[in-house]
């Protein structure tokens, strides 16, 4: 039996892999499978998963909800909830195959929806309001509908994950039948609470997906920081926290990707103190404001979105991460062997430095709803009547 309840934050070691095609050409599922299976020893059969981008081109304007449910009743509740809160375009069971070693899997279904908005929000018809609403809805399902979890909710992408070795999970979800312009994969080695399908990676929010090898020792601090902004950490894993931090820093606070990475794995004060003035001010402010977003502890993460793949290590590089490229294909993985298994002769192969993100974005305009986070975007700060830190503009020395 499997269950959807967890008692404590779980801890795991892992193997990760990711591939992106810069021109948006589709990569067959076998390729990522080969890379992750090469890192077999990094998992123990208690969790594996895949994120695939570009798999629903015909429904690319709809949020694709991959829902995992313990039973029919839970699914019905989800459907009732979606009927009420979304415009449902299409739904179907996620195709699966029976696998000998996978006993009693949960039910999987996908729904292609757009959230219903309040009149006022709808008037502006902006994507931000839609995204915000979608985040709320996902949080609500995960928190309130017992036995059901939304495992991915982005457009034109989806997550397939469960308890098993990567090859078993791939077979179960028929990964070889999908083609994607970005793939990430995960092979899990949990050290407690095994048998938890929701605990497998990737973790997602909207089209952010994360695979993660590590343990985030600052989990308690991060979770509390995120709660201030209305995120509810229901899955009790540190990876979930990473997904929400990205959403907050990049989507909501408009930080460029590079700075968001630097907020999560910041340079040391001794380095900041040596920077030229403008840069020093920037990084000092970044650390002061986003101390709650610092991911402390060993980690190597890959995260993807509709338009890019990013690899990031913790600030002292306590977990392995290798990157490579050949032509328009870029690879990232825990081990060089995983990359060489699918690309024996890369043009470039390197080990990214501690805290230095590897950001690979696709060329402009090659996929639908393409996103780019390289530039800063205007901040939407919630307005409050507070005068915390108020200084009359005439006396404020900051520009």
Partner 1 sequence: MGTPQFASFYPDFYIERLWEKCIKCRRCVKECSYGAHIWDEKKKTLLEDHTKCVGCHRCEAMCPTKAIIIRRHPSEFREHALWTPWFIKNIYKQADQGGVLLTSTGCALPFKNYFDHLVLDACQVTNPPIDPLREPMELRTYIGPKPEALEIEEVNGKFRLKKKLPPLIKLEVPIMFAAMSYGAISLHVHQGLARAARDLGTLYNTGEGGLHASLYEYGSNTIVQCASGRFGLHVDYLKAGVAIEIKIGQGAKPGIGGHLPGEKVTEEISKTRMIPVGSDALSPAPHHDIYSIEDLRGLIYALKEATEYKKLVFVKIAAVHNVAAIASGIVRAGADAVVIDGLKGGTGAAPTMFRDYIGIPIELAISAVDKRLREEGIRHRTSIIASGGIRSSADVVKAIALGADAVYIGTAALIAVGCTMCQRCYTGKCPWGIATNNPELIKRLPPEVAYEKIYNLVKAWAHEIKEMLGAMGINSIESLKGNRDKLRAVGLTKEEMEILEVKHAGE
Using CB under 8 A as the binding rule, the residues of this chain from 364 to 393 that contact partner 1 are 375-376, 379, 381-382, 386-392
Output 104 or 397, the one with its CB closest to partner 1: 397
Which residues fall within 8 angstroms of residue 84, CB to CB, at 6 or more apart? none
Q: Which of 14, 37, 261, 343 is catalytic?
A: 14
Rounded to the nearest whole angstrom, what is the least distance from the CB of residue 353 to partner 1 in the complex? 15
Dist CA 333 CA 306 (whole Å): 20
Q: Does 275 bind partner 1 (CB under 8 A)?
A: no
| Among 91, 221, 234, 372, interactor with partner 1 by CB under 8 A | 221
Output 260 or 367, the one with its CB closest to partner 1: 260
Rounded to the nearest whole angstrom, what is the least distance from the CB of residue 69 to partner 1 in the complex? 29
Rounded to the nearest whole angstrom, what is the least distance from the CB of residue 261 to partner 1 in the complex? 12
Rounded to the nearest whole angstrom, what is the least distance from the CB of residue 150 to partner 1 in the complex? 25
What Rg do the C-alpha atoms of the chain give, in angstroms? 21
| Among 62, 183, 219, 303, interactor with partner 1 by CB under 8 A | 219
Q: Which residues of 370-382 are buried (b: 16+ CB within 10 A; e: fewer)?
A: bbebeeeeeeeee
Considering only 96-104, 159-167, 223-231, 343-351, which stretch makes contact with partner 1 by CB under 8 A?
A: 223-231
Rounded to the nearest whole angstrom, what is the least distance from the CB of residue 380 to partner 1 in the complex? 8
User: The tokens of 212 are what?
Assistant: 């993660």
Dist CA 183 CA 158 (whole Å): 10
| Among 132, 171, 215, 247, interactor with partner 1 by CB under 8 A | 215
138-141's contacts with Cβ under 8 Å and 24+ in sequence apart are: 138/65, 138/205, 139/230, 139/231, 139/232, 139/234, 140/81, 141/67, 141/78, 141/81
Helix/strand/coil percent split, the chain, to 5: 30, 25, 40
DSSP per-residue codes, 232-265 = ---S--HHHHHHHHHIIIIIIT---HHHHHHHHS
One character per residue 93-112, x = contact with partner 1 (rule: CB under 8 A): --------------------
- Angstrom CA distances, 160 to 84, 168, 390, stand at 26, 12, 48
Q: Does 317 bind partner 1 (CB under 8 A)?
A: no
By the 8 A CB rule, do 245 and 295 touch? yes
| Among 122, 316, 337, 351, interactor with partner 1 by CB under 8 A | 316
Dist CA 378 CA 165 (whole Å): 43
Using CB under 8 A as the binding rule, the residues of this chain from 251 to 270 that contact partner 1 are 252-256, 258-259, 266, 268-270
Dist CA 293 CA 49 (whole Å): 25
From the list 60, 58, 81, the residue with the least C-alpha distance to 69 is 81
Question: What kind and span of H or E run contains 35?
Answer: helix 29-37
Output 69 or 264, the one with its CB closest to partner 1: 264
| Among 137, 180, 286, 358, interactor with partner 1 by CB under 8 A | 286
Output 122 or 316, the one with its CB closest to partner 1: 316
Output 1 or 395, the one with its CB closest to partner 1: 395
Q: Does 282 bind partner 1 (CB under 8 A)?
A: yes
Question: What kind and span of H or E run contains 113?
Answer: strand 107-115
Judge whether 14 counts as a catalytic residue.
yes
One character per residue 173-202, x = contact with partner 1 (rule: CB under 8 A): ------------------x-----------
Q: Does 296 bind partner 1 (CB under 8 A)?
A: yes
By the 8 A CB rule, do 238 and 212 touch? yes
Output 15 or 105, the one with its CB closest to partner 1: 15
Q: Does 279 bind partner 1 (CB under 8 A)?
A: yes
Using CB under 8 A as the binding rule, the residues of this chain from 7 to 66 that contact partner 1 are 8-9, 11-13
User: The tokens of 235 are what?
Assistant: 């899955």
**Tokens 């729904």 identify what position?**
111
Catalytic residues: 14
Using CB under 8 A, list all residues that contact partner 1. Answer: 8-9, 11-13, 191, 214-215, 217-221, 224-225, 227-229, 252-256, 258-259, 266, 268-270, 278-279, 281-282, 284-292, 294, 296-298, 315-316, 318, 375-376, 379, 381-382, 386-392, 395-399
């Amino acid at each position: 039996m499997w269950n959807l309840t967890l008692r404590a934050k779980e801890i795991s070691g892992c193997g990760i892999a990711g591939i992106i095609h810069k021109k948006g050409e589709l990569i067959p599922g076998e390729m990522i499978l080969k890379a992750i299976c090469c890192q077999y020893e990094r998992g123990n059969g208690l969790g594996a998963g895949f994120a695939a981008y570009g798999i629903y081109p015909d429904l690319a304007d709809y949020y694709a909800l991959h829902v995992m449910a313990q039973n029919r009743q839970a699914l019905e509740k989800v459907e009732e909830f979606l009927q009420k809160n979304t415009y449902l375009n299409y739904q179907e069971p996620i195709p699966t195959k029976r696998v000998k070693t996978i006993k009693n899997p949960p039910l999987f279904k996908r729904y292609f929806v757009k959230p219903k908005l309040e009149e006022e929000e709808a008037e502006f018809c902006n994507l931000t309001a839609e995204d915000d609403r979608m985040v709320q809805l996902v949080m609500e399902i995960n928190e309130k509908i017992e036995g059901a979890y939304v495992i991915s909710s982005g457009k034109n992408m989806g997550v397939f994950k469960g308890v098993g070795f990567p090859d078993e999970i791939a077979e179960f979800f028929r990964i070889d039948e999908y083609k994607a312009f970005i793939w990430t994969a995960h092979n899990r080695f949990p050290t407690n609470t095994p048998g938890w399908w929701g605990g497998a990676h990737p973790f997602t929010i909207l089209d952010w997906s994360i695979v993660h090898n590590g343990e985030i020792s600052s989990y308690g601090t991060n979770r509390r920081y995120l709660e201030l902004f209305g995120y509810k950490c229901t899955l009790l894993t540190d990876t979930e926290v990473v997904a929400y931090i990205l959403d907050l820093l990049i989507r909501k606070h408009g930080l460029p990707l590079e700075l968001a990475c630097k907020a999560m794995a910041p340079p040391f004060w001794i380095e900041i103190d040596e920077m030229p003035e403008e840069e020093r001010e920037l990084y000092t402010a970044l650390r002061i404001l986003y101390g709650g977003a610092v991911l402390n502890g060993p980690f190597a993460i890959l995260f993807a979105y509709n338009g890019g793949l990013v690899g990031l290590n913790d600030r002292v590089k306590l977990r392995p991460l290798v990157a490579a490229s050949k032509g328009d294909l870029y690879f990232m993985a825990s081990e060089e062997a995983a990359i060489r298994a699918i690309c024996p002769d890369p043009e470039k192969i390197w080990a990214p430095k501690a805290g230095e993100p590897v950001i690979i974005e696709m060329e402009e305009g090659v996929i639908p709803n393409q996103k780019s986070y390289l530039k800063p975007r205007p901040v939407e700060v919630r307005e409050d009547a507070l005068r915390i830190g108020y200084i009359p503009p005439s006396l404020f020395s900051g520009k």
